[in-house]
Amino acid sequence: MSEYMIIDGIKAEINGEKNILELARKVGIEIPAFCYDPELSIYGACRMCMFEDERGRLEASCSTPPRAGMVIKTNTAKLRKYRKMILELLLANHCRDCTTCHMSGKCRLQEFAYKFNIEGVRFPNNACQLSPDHSSYCILRDPGKCILCGKCVRMCNEIQSVGAIDYAFRGSKMKIATAFDGDIANSPCVGCGQCAAVCPTGAITIRDDADLVWKALGNPEVEVSVQVAPAVRVGLGTEFGFEEGTNVMGKLVTALKEMGFDKVYDTNIGADLTIMEESNELIHRIKKGGKLPMFTSCCPAWIRFAEDKYPDLLDNISTCKSPMQMLAATVKATYKGEKKHVHVAIMPCSAKKDEAKRAKFNGDVDYVLSAQEVVRMIREHGIHFKYLEESLPDVPFKEYTGASVIFGASGGVMEAALRTAVETITGQKLGNVEFSEVRGMQGVKEAEYAVGDLNVKVAVVSGLKNATEICNKVRSGECDYQFIEIMSCPGGCVNGGGQPFVDAFKRSDMDYKGMRASGLYKTDANMSARKSHENSAISALYDNFFGEVGGHKAHELLHTHYEPKNK
């Protein structure tokens, strides 16, 4: 027999919901909350989500499990009064420079202040005087905007197991800090930006480099080329009224051209190059007894993480540069123009900003723009994105395969590498190119494939907590994978820290990661060439420029090495 409780007079059937807040949302009642996120542990600190029971007692709905027969109200005179007080208290301690804040229009505090009709704040405010932390290339921290909801701390510790930030000090002096309250750049932060993705205010945002790019675009002495990562094309459409996961690459190319980029290239070429080199490296390691399992190397936050926490596993990481760096190195090395050449990369990622600054990469990528920044630039330029004609990227870096476009989803690199590796090892064409076992949004996926006389065991991991678990197993010899794909952000780059901000309730309401991933898989399915080695532009590149796959020139431009982080 079904069990029910009554919420605001509505009969709500209890179906294993963990808390009243979730159950209320199922019956269409939105209880306000700042610190609640279904992906994170319950914190119960904002006290906005309280409800009143029949005896007039108040409890937090985020931490109260529904019980049969309960009768509660979520919006009474008492609750309204206290919610307004909580908001007034938060606003009194919040730097309210909303007009110059990146989160304006998306800020939960701003939204609630408006919804609850907060007409004035009776307490003095010094929040704007707190000094921000701009030490990181990836994220900016502004303690004056922080409402101490603790989502960033829980994300960094529970989902990412990075542990760069935590609570420090007590009472009204409490703040989010790194160990010893130092700069975030000198902390174990890997720049994944997932903290910014869950921050309800502008307390943690992605660094904005748009002004630097506008400057280059406005300089007639400079040729500006740009590459666009696979996940971006399915991430930013919603900002312009498209359904989540719609591939808007064609319109994006047109927009970038309108904004003044001289050449628009597709990072997918870099991804196809990566597969050529990486599958070759994998086969080499398997056949010649190299270090196994081999880890992928596309994700810069994972690389930072490994350099800091798993220095003993660095030889297990593929020496391949990421698609962004491979394409940038190729673009820069093959540039024949007279003008100074600036290369920009549009990424779903905040950590890519840090990757581009690595000394080993010689500044091949001059600026990295996150998808968020590009959305703002398109708006600033006054482009009606939705109504743009579609256009194609520029030669010679436009032709890509289905294998490369799926890089943006967790499992995509693995699948792309398998398509090429299997055909290379067996010498036979694959009947079905889809490796569905490695698809999906689960944090850990495993599969085993018989490839010729080899048995290839693989794992696909997203989220650094999951990575920690698998790395520990590799370290202790508890697993026997040959190839492991690791992406820092849960679900892969489709959910990267640089993607447009997704509201907390939307994050729990819809599978936006899965929708973006299926946008990429759909594009892949419609391609005629779905394997990197079938990319004729790539063949031409090797024939005319690199020579052999894994050869000398390829090594020089397309490979790198890793160093343990200085402790």
Interface with other proteins (CB under 8 A)? 42-47, 50, 58, 60, 62-65, 78, 81-82, 85-86, 89-90, 92-93, 122-124, 147-148, 150, 166-167, 169-174
- Least gap, CB of 28 to other proteins (angstroms): 25
Phi, psi of 48 (to 5 degrees): -80, -25
Q: Is the CB of 173 or the CB of 288 nearer to other proteins?
A: 173
**Cα–Cα distance between 555 and 544 in angstroms, integer?**
16
- Least gap, CB of 51 to other proteins (angstroms): 12
Q: Is the CB of 86 or the CB of 413 nearer to other proteins?
A: 86
- Least gap, CB of 66 to other proteins (angstroms): 12
Interacting residues of 22 by C-beta distance below 8 A, sequence separation 6+? 38
- Least gap, CB of 59 to other proteins (angstroms): 9
Which of left, alpha, beta for 214 (phi over 0: left; psi -120 to 50: alpha)? alpha
Q: Is the CB of 169 or the CB of 452 nearer to other proteins?
A: 169
- The answer to whether 51 touches 165, Cβ cutoff 8 Å, is no
Beta-carbon neighbour count of residue 396 at 10 Å?
16
- Least gap, CB of 174 to other proteins (angstroms): 3
Coil, strand or helix at 17: coil
User: What is the amino acid identity at position 431?
Assistant: G
- Least gap, CB of 105 to other proteins (angstroms): 23
Coil, strand or helix at 343: strand
**Nearest alpha carbon to residue 79 among 59, 64, 108, 55:** 59
Q: Which two tokens stand for residue 305?
A: 């993480």
Q: Is the CB of 173 or the CB of 561 nearer to other proteins?
A: 173
- The answer to whether 325 touches 271, Cβ cutoff 8 Å, is no
Q: Is the CB of 65 or the CB of 182 nearer to other proteins?
A: 65
User: 């740009």: which residue's tokens?
Assistant: 226
Q: Is the CB of 48 or the CB of 377 nearer to other proteins?
A: 48
- Least gap, CB of 152 to other proteins (angstroms): 15
Q: Is the CB of 47 or the CB of 465 nearer to other proteins?
A: 47
**Cα–Cα distance between 239 and 385 in angstroms, integer?**
10
- Least gap, CB of 145 to other proteins (angstroms): 15
Q: Is the CB of 63 or the CB of 468 nearer to other proteins?
A: 63
Phi, psi of 141 (to 5 degrees): -115, 130
What one-character DSSP code corresponds to residue 348?
S
The residues with which 5 forms a beta bridge, in sequence order, are: 12
